[in-house]
Structure 1
Amino acid sequence: MQPRLEAEHLFKVFGRRPDEAVERVRKGADRDDLRGDGTTAAVIDASFRVEEGEIFVVMGLSGSGKSTLLRMLNGLLEPTAGRVLFDGRDLTALTDRELRKLRSERISMVFQHFALFPHRSVRDNAAYGLEVQGVPRAERERRADEALALCGLAGWEKAWPDELSGGMQQRVGLARALATDADLLLMDESFSALDPLIRRDMQDQLLELQKTLRKTIVFITHDLNEAMRLGDRIAVMRDGRIVQTGTAEDILLRPANDYVASFIQDVDRSRVLTAAAVMDTEPRGDEADCGCETAAPDTPFTELCALSARLTHPVAVLDAGRTLVGVVPRQRLVGVLGDEHGEATACDRDGGKVTGRA
């Protein structure tokens, strides 16, 4: 099946003779080598696919190249080398007019700093993308109001941006992207300017919307916990390169290199992992026959600990058809929470909570 979005060996180089710089990188030069000549390789040989209905998170520290990468995905920046394919169409081959039409109708962006017009009402801000498309006023106001309601802002249509909190202003930005019914949402550090509690609320809002809308989303963040919470898959960037792509479980349990391993060392695994990530997929076959409590593949790790504490045998994991797909021995739970020195945090048998060292 064709992916909705695909990046093929993307490079973005700023400075003199960028094409020559790409060739140097392909032959083994690194960022520092180029920097000495006044050239910056912002993105180096980035390739990935984003499936329809997927939240694909690009995560990295400041200067890793993630925002530059995002801007190549909708043609705001032209790649020095490589291609971007959207529904199989090569964006790098489109004219400026074709790109503007595509961005106005099929690709929307949600920015970090809201980007609301202070002289426009909440409704008119949400309807702005439709106005650019030339949609009649009555229709664009109807669609804007529907998008605002989806984002929890029903009743605020006539308010002004400065009457809203930061979180509410970001909801208007999200509603503006949704109102156009774009196929692809690009979200550039969209929640990072918000206070922690509001930020988590916006993450909840996005996940709730995604259950029904099933948009294709590329989400940029420097926050690993946010990436783990939102991403169906995550691409980790360092110095312009994608160093690992995978699910949150893949990255937590199988880091590709020492950099990724050090990056994830402070993540609370119990908030990310599920039964499917830690179960033994070759059970004996009789674990589900005892009539005891069982788990589902998406049962959170913390619930597995509590369940394991009540049982005297491995936890059976059953799929939606009640077929046994795996088991989770208690020692597996302990091992997953072990640190790099071999010490491990155990599940307390009395309450199933993570309480001490094994």
Structure 2
Amino acid sequence: MSQYPWGEATATGIGSHPGEDHAEAIKVVFGELPALPYLPELPARGVGADMIGRTASLLLELPVEVQPSGWRFADRPGRDFKRARDHLLRDLDALEESAQGYRGPFKIQVCGPWTLAGAIELRYGDKTLADSGAVRDLVESLAEGIVAHVADIRRRVPGASEIVVQLDEPGLPGVLAGTVPTASGFGRLNAVDVQVAADRLREVLPADAFPIVHCCASDVPFKVLRTAGVKGISLDASLLKRRDEDEIGELIEAGTAFFLGVVPGVDASLPDIDVVARPAVELWRRLGFPHAGLASQVVLTPACGLAGASPAYARAALAKCRKSAQVLGEDLGRRDG
């Protein structure tokens, strides 16, 4: 039996979609990505549909509100928190209807703790990241919220064989490098220690799901992710550097799954499926791994979310990833034959 929730030659998406019609976005996802569908996010709907607000609506006993500077913790749930929660609940209702009869793995996305901490301000105006105690409170609340969210998904999608939980951490490299701006914008917050970053990230990884981390930056912190114990890493294949390949090889050898972004997240000319699959094939070849493992350990995706794309391109990009993943499996057969 495979150690991964999905079968061979699988593709999926990152999370965000263009437009405001969530029911249509779900239909596109299930239609184009039947092997690993996911809950799409539509940030174009406004406040509360964005990555930060959507995940903040999962936090327990830590209500948020929107200020001119962005999201901030509040004394009590207000209009902004309710709007974010309502967006999510409507999306889950639409998912429940569309997923009837579905059997297989299912993916959801939440914002990771370090990106949240670098984005949400405390009541007195500084970033959560500036206060280690506040970070601990945020992590504890998020961990509980993720557990409850996963349980809700299992109830609404009873045919889901396993839940893949993607933590979006675009802000993690900046947290580690000490480049996150203060609330005023005139300074930078201190860098977070690598071990502390890994420890806090580990605390939110759900034990009853398959946790992966998505980071579309050019400097993915592989050491932190490995130390935290994530089971998969999602990244933009075009940003991979040769100097990272030793760490990537160690992760592959340890069984870590890789979600490789192989088509642009915004409207562009989509190449032939052989070209789309090439970064995965060539990475595997350079690192010297048997071809037999590639089609199960690697999942093909767009390079990042599709919120900035047109609806037609978003559908085409997902279809291209799916067809390219199939070619990847066929390519393995030809090479091993």
Same fold (TM over 0.5): no
1 or 2, which has the higher helix percentage? Answer: 2
1 or 2, which has the higher strand percentage? Answer: 1
Task: Answer 1 or 2: higher relative contact order, Cα 8 Å, separation at least 6.
Answer: 2
TM-score (norm 1): 0.34
TM-score (norm 2): 0.35
* Larger Rg computed on CA atoms: 1
